[in-house]
Structure 1
Amino acid sequence: MDSPHGAAVKAENFGLKGPRGWVFRGMGLDARPGSLIAVEGSSGSGRTCLLLALTGRMKATEGHAEIAGHRLPRHMAAVRKIAALGPVAGVNELDQSLTVAEQLREGALLQRRYEGPVRALLRPRGERRATAETRIEDALAAAGLDLATLPKGPRTSVRDLERLEAIRLSVAIALLGSPRLLALDDLDLKLSDAERAEAWTLLRSIAARGTTVLAVCSEAPDDVTVLRTGAAQAEPAAAAPGTGEKTGPAEDTGTTEDTEDTKGADDALSEAGRA
């Protein structure tokens, strides 16, 4: 698989207001192509909505962002073409009824049909199959998923995968389209400390290959760029270029806005799931 040139990610006073108030607000970021970026915050703090907004799946209502030069929210469709999603509950999930092999084949088919050049569909069937198999093998290698280690190999059911294995499978499927930006939600959910370390090592390796990576988490390592979501978002944050710098809204003051922000995030995420 060719290493794509990653997307630069910039944001200035970026915010989204839902039916019950601000979901996130005042986000600032200036990250170079090939960066590893963490969206850090507690559940319900708007972190998933921020991820969806930065990948062109949810329309921001304040400020702007640029992904590889495509300005948001104006050019959401252009951003969606270069940004791939890992699993996002209610938006982009693995199909628990499929085997791992079936899930990979489905991902390759969808990528070829909706993202690949039209001329690719005119190639002989055998050539298309060989190309898809090569793409799948390369994506699995990049995601660090060895099918031979699974209980039933490629015939293992998706529902039987361990959490970290499911993350690796989702990453492999996302990489089939050679995205410039890879985005993952709830990276550290239900992972042990050792598994969490493995997950971050995986994302570092993908970023090192040239793909910009954006990951939602509860707590980020010290060596990544961080956007922090939280309740107190009245003051815009300054953009902070470079690796390992904490960026985002003002520090949480523990105000009573917590409940409204959580409800706003839930409402906005529900809208994204129906879109």
Structure 2
Amino acid sequence: MEGARDVEGAGGIEVRGLGLKGPRGWAFRDVSFTAPPGGLVALEGPSGTGRTSLLLALTGRMKTAEGTATVAGIRLPGHLAALRRISALAHVQGVTDLEPALTVGEHLHERALLQRRFGGSLRGLLRPRAERASEARRRIDTALATAGLDLAALPKGARTAVRDLERLEALRLSVALALIGRPLVLGVDDTDLKLPDAGRADAWAALRSVAASGTTVLAVCSDAPGDALRVPVRAAADEPHTGTHTDTGTDTGAHTDTKETGDAFAEARGA
């Protein structure tokens, strides 16, 4: 992954007529757009329209049923494993949940260890311990700065428990954790959920910072800012979603569209 950023056009996305169907029908259909590397893409629509399913499909977590897409040079609907290696997710219930009892520092340390063990090269694993630790620290610091999470501003610094974070802080932490792996594509769910106007502005500013660093951002939202590439997502006209959606969010910024996410994974298994 570390050398992927040197590939010409890395991170660019081209989608043509993409659709995903599962046991309950179409989650979404006929999605088409083109985004440059380092673009800010808003997957915009009301809850229940397949936004999360589209996000998971474009990061290699779900297999589509029709249409084509090229994400960072990787063709879909095949090559999902390759796409997962160069993409990351943040703020997705059931996938990137934060552990309320753990501290911010513990989350960051754990993610850096996992990245070094499973996401790094063999050469990296053989480097001296001090060198590996220094690299992990650089990755964490860069990720925090890009996501806009200032540890010194938290109530107990890095020792602050996740359950004590404000919603925006939890979103920033989830984004920072995803960035430790230096993905070419970052998918963020429920970007603007239950945030006041000022909080929404800050969340989008953080995602602009991520995009400016060279990572293409796919952000699920209900209302996109004017400078984002807006991709309207609507329930398939022939088989609209009719289920209810229960709000189970907490102050840690947990995903609230539980039925859509559950349906997304069910559709992925059946696709």
Inter-partner Cα distance in structure 2 for 1:7 and 1:71 = 12
Q: Can you list the C-alpha shifts for 1:73-102, whole angstroms capped at 9, x where unaligned?
A: 111111111111112101221122210000
Partners of 1:114 and 1:2 in 2: CA distance: 16
Decide which of 180, 193, 198 is 2:197's aligned counterpart: 193
Superposition deviation, residue 258 in structure 1: 3.8
User: % of aligned pairs identical?
Assistant: 58
What's the Cα RMSD here? 2.3
SS of match in other structure, 2:133: helix
Q: Which residue number corresponds to residue 58 of structure 1? A: 62
2:84 aligned residue? 80
**In the alignment, structure 1 residue 162 sits paired with structure 2 residue 162:** no
Q: CA deviation at 1:161?
A: 0.6
Return 5+ residue gaps in structure 1 as ranges.
235-255
Q: What is the CA-CA distance between 1:42 and the residue it aligns to?
A: 1.1
1:268 and 2:267 aligned: no
1:144 equivalent among 134, 148, 161: 148
- C-alpha change, 1:76 and 1:2, in structure 2 (3 Å) is closer
Unaligned runs of 5+ in 2: 246-258
Partner of 2:214: 210
Give distance in 1, aligned partners of 2:193 and 2:156.
Answer: 25
Corresponding residue for residue 93 of structure 1: 97
Mapped pair 1:257 → 2:240: yes
- Choose the corresponding residue for 1:71, options 48, 60, 75: 75
Q: Counterpart of 2:256? A: none
Aligned residue for 1:108? 112
- How far did residue 36 of structure 1 move? 0.3
Q: Does 1:11 align with 2:7?
A: no
Give the superposition deviation at 1:129: 1.4
* Counterpart selection for 2:139 from 113, 116, 135: 135
For residue 242 of structure 2, give the secondary structure of its aligned residue in structure 1.
Answer: helix
State TM-score, norm by structure 1.
0.85
Alpha carbons of structure 1 residues 272 and 115: separation in structure 2 relative to 1, 3 Å: farther
How far is the alpha carbon of 1:270 from its aligned partner? Answer: 4.4
Q: Tell me if the contact between 1:21 and 1:260 (Cα under 8 Å) persists in the aligned partners.
A: no
1:126 corresponds to: 130
Q: Do the aligned residues in 1 keep the contact of 2:27 with 2:49 (CA within 8 Å)?
A: yes
Q: 1:233 to 1:35 in 2, by over 3 A?
A: farther
Q: Which amino acid in structure 2 is aligned with residue 257 of structure 1?
A: P
TM-superposed CA distance for 1:233, in Å, is: 4.3
**Alpha-carbon offset, residue 4 of structure 1:** 4.3
Deviations 1:229-269 (A, max 9, x none): 112446xxxxxxxxxxxxxxxxxxxxx83417987874233
C-alpha distance in structure 1 between counterparts of 2:261 and 2:191, whole Å: 18
Maintained 8 Å contact 1:12/1:28: yes
Residues 180 and 233 from structure 1, CA distance in 2 versus in 1: closer, same or farther, beyond 3 angstroms? farther
The worse-fitting range, judged by mean Cα deviation, of 1-10 and 60-69 is 1-10
